[in-house]
Amino acid sequence: MEKSRTIDSHTILYGVFGDPIRHSRSPIMLNRAFQEANINAVYAAFHVRPDELGDAVRGIRALGYRGINVTIPHKVEVMQYLDEIDEGAQIVGAVNTIVNENGKLIGYNTDGIGYVRSLLEETGIELTGKSVLLLGAGGAARGVAYALAKEGAGCIYIANRTKERAVELAETISVYTKAIGLGLDELGEVVDGVQFVLNTTSAGMHPHVDELPMPTELLREHHLVSDLIYNPRITRLLREAEAKGARIHGGLGMFIYQGAFAFEYWTGTPAPVAAMRQVVEQSLAE
C-alpha cells in the first residue's frame, strides 16, 4: 500500500538539472526514497539548457531548494557557480550533487563513491592491494579511479584509446595509489596480473549493444569484470566475460548508490536503498 503524500507549504524541494532530462530515472527513484523515509519532500526534473545554467543555479538559492542533482552536460560547467567544492569533486573535476546549506551551495561528486559502494555490496570484493584495469579515461573514469584509490586499490592501470588522456589521469590518481596510463594496444601486457577489470566507456550501451571496450579473449576466469553501463543490464562485455568463467557486476547499482549518497548528504538519514532499487528496476522493465 503506497503511503499518500501531501505537498504543502512545508514540502522541501529537490530536483535534477540536465539537457536532455526526460529520460531520467532520478525523480522516480528519489521520490520513492522520500516517501519510504517519511520525509515531506518532492523531487522534479528540470530541463536546463547550457546558456541558462547560471540562472538555474542562482534559482536554487533564491527559491530555497535544499538539493539538486546535476547531469549531462552540466557536471563540469556548474562548478564555477558554486560556493564550495568537496575534495573528491575537485579531483574528479565534476559535480553531480549540490547541497544548499542556508544559501551556501556546496558541490559533491557521488558517482565514484556510489559505484564503489555498489561494487562492495554486490560482489563482496576486498579492494585493498588489488590490481585494477580501468577502461576509459573520461569523467566517469576519473570519479571511479579516485574512489577505488581511496578504497585501497594497490595499482590502477588506466587504458584509453588516446593514451595521453590515460597517462594524464594516472598522474592525478598516483597521489593516492600507484597508477599507470596505457594505450588500448598495451592491454595484453597487464591483463593477466589484474584481479578486476572495469569498463567506464560507453562501448556496449544501448543502442550500440554489440560494441566491446576491449578484446574479450584477454579475459580470464580469475577476473571480476564490471561495467558502468546499466542499459542493457548485462552488456556484451559482461556476457562474454561470464562465458569465460569470470564473475560479473553490472552498472545499475552505481546509479542507485550515487542517488543514495545524494539523499544522505541532503537529509542526514540512511537511504532506503532496497525501495530505490525496486522502483528503478520496475521502471527499466516497463
| DSSP track, the chain | -PPP----TT-EEEEEEESS-TT--HHHHHHHHHHHTT--EEEEEEE--GGGHHHHHHHHHHHT-SEEEE-TT-TTGGGGG-SEE-HHHHHHT---EEEEETTEEEEE--HHHHHHHHHHHHH----BT-EEEEE--SHHHHHHHHHHHHTTBSEEEEEESSHHHHHHHHHHHTTTSEEEEEEGGGHHHHGGG-SEEEE-SSTT-TT-TT--SS-GGG--TT-EEEES--SSSS-HHHHHHHHTT-EEE-SHHHHHHHHHHHHHHHHSS---HHHHHHHHHHHHH-
On whether 251 is known to bind a ligand per the annotation, the reply is yes
On whether 87 is known to bind a ligand per the annotation, the reply is yes
On whether 160 is known to bind a ligand per the annotation, the reply is yes
On whether 6 is known to bind a ligand per the annotation, the reply is no
On whether 140 is known to bind a ligand per the annotation, the reply is yes
On whether 96 is known to bind a ligand per the annotation, the reply is yes
Q: Is 75 known to be catalytic?
A: yes
Phi, psi of 157 (to 5 degrees): -90, 125
27 burial type by CB count under 10 A (0-12 exposed, 13-18 middle, 19+ buried): middle
On whether 159 is known to bind a ligand per the annotation, the reply is no
Catalytic residue (choose from 75, 104, 178, 244): 75
On whether 257 is known to bind a ligand per the annotation, the reply is no
On whether 37 is known to bind a ligand per the annotation, the reply is no
Which residue type sits at 280? V
On whether 137 is known to bind a ligand per the annotation, the reply is yes
On whether 267 is known to bind a ligand per the annotation, the reply is no
On whether 54 is known to bind a ligand per the annotation, the reply is no
On whether 165 is known to bind a ligand per the annotation, the reply is yes
**How far apart, in whole angstroms, are the C-alpha atoms of residue 220 and residue 241?**
8
On whether 147 is known to bind a ligand per the annotation, the reply is no
On whether 151 is known to bind a ligand per the annotation, the reply is no
Which residues does the annotation mark as catalytic?
A: 75
- Binding residues for shikimate, by number, are 24-26, 71, 96, 111, 230, 258
| Binding-site residue ranges for NADP(+) | 87, 136-140, 160-165, 228, 251
Binding-site residues sit at 24-26, 71, 87, 96, 111, 136-140, 160-165, 228, 230, 251, 258
